[in-house]
Amino acid sequence: MTAVAEVMDYDEVLERFDPVLGLEVHVELNTNTKMFCGCANVFGGEPNTHVCPVCLGMPGALPAVNGKAVESAMRIGLALNCEIAEWCRFARKNYFYPDMPKNFQTSQYDEPIAFNGYLDVELDDGSIFRVDIERAHMEEDTGKSLHVGGATGRIHGADYSLLDYNRAGVPLIEIVTKPLVGTGARAPEVARAYVAALRDLLRGLDVSDVRMDQGSLRCDANVSLMAKDATEFGTRTETKNVNSLRSVERAVRYEMTRHAAVLVGGGKIKQETRHFDESTATTRAGRTKETAEDYRYFPEPDLVPIAPSREWVAELKAGLPQPPWVRRKRLQEEWGLSDAELRDLVNADALDLVAATVDAGAKSDDARSWWVSYLSQQAKTLNKELAELPITPAQVARVSALVADGSLTNKLARAVVDGVLAGEGEPDAVVEARGLKVVSDDSALTAAVDEALAAQPDVAEKIRSGKVAAAGAIVGAVMKATKGSADAKRVRELIIERCS
Amino acid sequence: MSELIRLSAADLADKIHKREVSAVEATQAHLDRIAEVDGAVHAFLHVNTEGALAAAAKVDEQIAVGEVASPLAGVPLALKDVMTTIDAPTTVGSKILENWLPPYDATVTERLRAAGIVILGKTNMDEFAMGSSTENSAYGPTHNPWDLERIPGGSGGGSSASLAAFEAPLAIGTDTGGSIRQPGAVTGTVGVKPTYGTVSRYGLVAFSSSLDQAGPCARTVLDAALLHEVIAGYDPMDSTSINQPVRPVVEAARQGATGDLKGVKVGVVREFRGEGYQQGVIDCFDAAVQQLRDLGAEVVEVSCPHFKYALGAYYLIAPSEASSNLARFDAMRYGLRVDNGALGELSAEQVMSLTREAGFGPEVKRRIILGTYALSAGYYDAYYGSAQKVRTLISRDFTSAFEQVDVLVAPTTPTTAFKIGERIDDPLAMYLNDLCTIPSNLAGNAALSVPSGLAAEDGLPAGLQVMAPALADERMYRVAAAYEVARDAAQGGPLINRVPELEAISR
Query: Mutating which of B84, B207, B324 best tests the A interface, going by the most A Cβ atoms within 10 A?
Result: B324
Q: Which residue of B has its CA nearest to A299?
A: B321
Interface of B with A in 364-383 (CB under 8 A): 372, 375-377, 380
Spatial CB neighbours of A207, under 8 Å, sequence gap ≥ 6: A27, A29, A30, A72, A75, A76, A173
Are both A452 and A398 inside the same structural domain? no
Degrees to nearest 5, angle at CA A65 with A59 and A71: 160
Query: What are the start-end ranges of the E strands in A15-103?
Result: 17-28, 83-84, 91-94
- Domain count for chain A, please give it: 3
Residues A264 and A135 in one domain: yes
Chain A CB contacts of B106 under 8 Å are: 60
In a domain, A2, yes or no: no
Task: From A404, A434, A464, give the residue that closes a domain.
Answer: A434
Residues of chain A with Cβ-Cβ distance to B205 below 8 Å are: 59-60
pLDDT at A152: 63
CA distance B304 to B394: 8
Least confident of A213-217, B6-10, B367-371: A213-217
Enumerate the domain spans of chain B.
Answer: 3-307+392-498
Do the domain assignments include residue A4? no
CB of B105 less than 8 A from some CB of A: no
The answer to whether residue A417 is domain-embedded is yes
Concerning whether B452 is annotated as a catalytic residue, the answer is no
B95 catalytic per annotation: no
Active-site choice (B8, B22, B70, B179): B179
- The span from the CA of B113 to the CA of B86, in Å, is 12
Cross-strand pairs, A223: A21, A237
What is chain A's pLDDT, residue by residue, as a tens digit (500 residues)?
345 678 999 999 999 999 999 999 999 999 999 999 999 999 888 999 999 999 999 999 999 999 999 999 999 999 999 999 999 999 999 999 989 999 999 999 999 999 999 999 989 888 999 999 999 999 999 999 888 877 666 666 778 889 999 999 999 999 999 999 999 999 999 999 999 999 989 988 999 999 888 889 999 999 999 999 899 999 999 999 798 999 999 999 999 999 999 999 999 999 999 999 989 999 999 866 556 689 999 999 999 999 999 999 999 999 999 888 888 889 999 999 998 899 888 888 899 899 999 999 999 999 999 999 999 999 989 888 888 889 999 999 999 999 888 788 888 899 999 999 998 999 999 988 888 877 666 777 888 888 888 888 888 888 888 888 888 888 888 888 887 778 888 888 888 878 87
Closest CA to A233 of A207, A262, A271: A271
Distance from the Cα of A101 to chain B's closest Cα (Å) equals 6
Q: Which 461-500 residues of chain A touch chain B by CB within 8 A?
A: none
- Domain contains A5: no
Whether residues A372 and A487 share a domain: the answer is no
Domain of A426, in residue numbers: 322-434
Where a domain ends, among A286, A311, A336? A311
Same domain? For A151 and A122 the reply is yes
Domain co-membership, A151 together with A186: yes
Domain presence at residue A317: no
In the Cβ-directed half-sphere of B148, how many Cα atoms lie within 13 Å?
A: 14
Determine, for residues B102 and A58 on separate chains, whether the beta-carbon distance falls below 8 Å. yes
Distances A240 to A72, A282, B183 between C-alpha atoms, Å: 25, 12, 53
Domain covering B3-307+392-498 assigned CATH 3.60.15.30 in the classification: no
Q: To which H or E segment does residue A344 belong?
A: helix A339-347
Domain-embedded: residue A3 = no
Q: Is B241 a catalytic residue?
A: no
Verify that A301 and A348 share a domain, yes or no: no
A301 and A212 share a domain?
yes
CA distance, residue A85 to nearest chain B CA (Å): 20
Residue B346: other Cβ atoms inside 10 A = 16
Q: Is the residue at A299 inside a domain?
A: yes
Q: Tell me how far apart the alpha carbons of residues B287 and B298 are, in angstroms, rounded to a whole number.
A: 15
Indicate whether A337 and A230 sit together in one domain: no
Q: Please report residues of B whose CB lies closer than 8 A to that of A48.
A: none
Claim to verify: residue A344 and residue A462 sit in the same structural domain: no
Residue among B483, B100, B95 nearest B257 (CA): B483
Query: Does a cis peptide bond (omega within 30 degrees of 0) precede residue B155?
Result: yes
Whether A158 has its CB under 8 Å from any CB of chain B: the answer is no
Rounded-to-integer distance, Cα A492 and Cα A490, Å: 5
- Does the pLDDT of residue B215 top 50, yes or no? yes
- Mean model confidence pLDDT for chain B: 96
Please tell me whether the overall predicted TM-score, pTM, comes out greater than 0.90 for this model: no
Given the residues B94, B155, B200, B208, the one annotated as active site? B155
The reply to whether A335 and A300 lie within a common domain is no
Angle at B497 between CA B496 and CA B501, to 5 degrees: 105
Residue A94 amino acid letter: N
- CA nearest to A293 within chain B: B377
Q: Are residues A348 and A278 in the same domain?
A: no
Residue A47 sits at the chain B interface (C-beta within 8 Å): no
Q: Which of A387, A415, A434 represents a domain boundary (last residue)?
A: A434
The answer on A365 and A252 residing in a single domain is: no
The CATH number of residue A483's host domain is 1.10.10
Count contacts between A and B (CB, < 8 Å). 102
CA A132, CA A23: separation in Å to the nearest integer?
A: 10
